């Protein structure tokens, strides 16, 4: 069987050896390079500035689309299965995105120029799933304290004491634009916001207004709205030191890619 990789993979020596023993593999950059004998399309949300749609796979007899990720908002296809690694055990050993949270926290302060010791600050974690729990473990010996906001539990003084809001919730309809003026208005302090979830959970226009008002001291994010389109949103275009955007690289540590890529291949064996 042949797999067409829209995502680069040859830099991953262990994975390359593993997958090329089991499949015929080609790296491609466009739909036109997909040959008729391709059975699976492999595409991660990183490296992609467009969405995989029905038009993209039209005329290709695919068995499925493989994504070594937990979120699949870069794929809008119903005609073939989309195979991801959401809820897979391998995720418990992948710490890359939680570590990127800490990088964003440290970087946004240094970019703005108001550097403070994290040992004096309260981290508020919104979403206490896999990533929220990992970030909690990382932060226990770094921050003064950590407060949790989750569907099943909310720390009593989450809104009163949080200095850094880390967004670690899943993308669901009920969570779209949940980070907005009304929600941020509940915080007693002026806060920094860190987002490694998905761009769609943040109302970017309202967060920008809150930055200009001083309520949000800085917004550091690894994900943006319209991430997989060339659309020039206001957040993408602004050059403001209070805004830090990384190109969805939270989960791209070499070790993380090795594990995630192998895990999704195992699901089709």
Provide the whole-model pTM.
0.93
List, for residues 74-113, the tens digit of each pLDDT value.
999 999 999 999 999 999 999 999 999 999 999 999 999 9
Share of the chain above pLDDT 70, in %: 100
Cβ contacts of 9 within 8 Å, gap of 6 or more: 15, 16, 19, 25, 27, 42, 261
User: Which whole number is the average pLDDT over 45-57?
Assistant: 90
pLDDT at 154: 96
- Inform me whether the pLDDT recorded for 46 exceeds 90: no
pLDDT at 49: 83
What is the Cα–Cα distance from 17 to 262, expressed in whole angstroms?
A: 11
- Inform me whether the pLDDT recorded for 47 exceeds 80: no
pLDDT band at 251 (very low <50, low <70, confident <90, very high): very high
Share of the chain above pLDDT 90, in %: 94
- Inform me whether the pLDDT recorded for 236 exceeds 80: yes
pLDDT at 115: 95
Written as six digits, the tokens of 265 are: 């291949």
- Inform me whether the pLDDT recorded for 34 exceeds 80: yes
What is the Cα–Cα distance from 262 to 157, expressed in whole angstroms?
A: 42
pLDDT at 48: 81
Average pLDDT, the chain: 96
What is the Cα–Cα distance from 64 to 49, expressed in whole angstroms?
A: 21
User: Which whole number is the average pLDDT over 168-191?
Assistant: 96
- Report helix, strand or coil for 173: helix
Residue in 228, 250, 252, 224 with CA at minimum distance from that of residue 238: 224
What is the Cα–Cα distance from 136 to 127, expressed in whole angstroms?
A: 11
Residue in 185, 184, 177, 182 with CA at minimum distance from that of residue 225: 177
pLDDT at 216: 98
Written as six digits, the tokens of 238 are: 């602004």
């Amino acid at each position: 069987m042949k797999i067409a990789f829209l995502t680069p993979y040859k830099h991953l020596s262990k994975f390359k050896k593993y997958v090329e023993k089991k499949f015929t593999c080609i790296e491609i950059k466009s739909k036109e390079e997909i040959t008729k004998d391709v059975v699976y399309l492999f595409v991660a949300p990183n490296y992609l500035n467009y969405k995989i749609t029905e038009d993209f796979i039209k005329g290709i007899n695919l068995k499925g689309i493989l994504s070594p990720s937990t979120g699949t908002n870069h794929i809008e296809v119903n005609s073939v299965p989309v195979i991801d690694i959401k809820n897979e055990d391998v995720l418990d050993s992948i710490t890359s995105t939680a570590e990127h949270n800490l990088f964003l926290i440290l970087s946004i302060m240094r970019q703005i120029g108001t550097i403070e010791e994290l040992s004096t600050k309260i981290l508020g974690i919104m979403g206490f799933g896999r990533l929220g729990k990992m970030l909690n473990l990382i932060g226990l010996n770094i921050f003064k304290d950590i407060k949790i906001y989750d569907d099943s539990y909310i720390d009593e003084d989450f809104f009163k004491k949080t200095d850094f809001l880390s967004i670690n919730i899943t993308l669901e309809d009920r969570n779209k634009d949940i980070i907005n003026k009304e929600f941020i208005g509940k915080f007693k302090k002026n806060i920094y916001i860190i987002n490694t979830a998905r761009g769609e959970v943040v109302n970017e226009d309202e967060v920008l207004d809150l930055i200009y008002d001083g309520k949000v001291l800085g917004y550091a994010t690894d994900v943006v709205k319209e991430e997989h389109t060339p659309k020039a949103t206001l957040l993408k275009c602004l050059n403001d030191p209070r805004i830090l955007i990384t190109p969805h690289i939270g989960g791209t540590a070499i070790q993380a890619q090795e594990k995630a890529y192998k895990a999704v291949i195992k699901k089709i064996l």
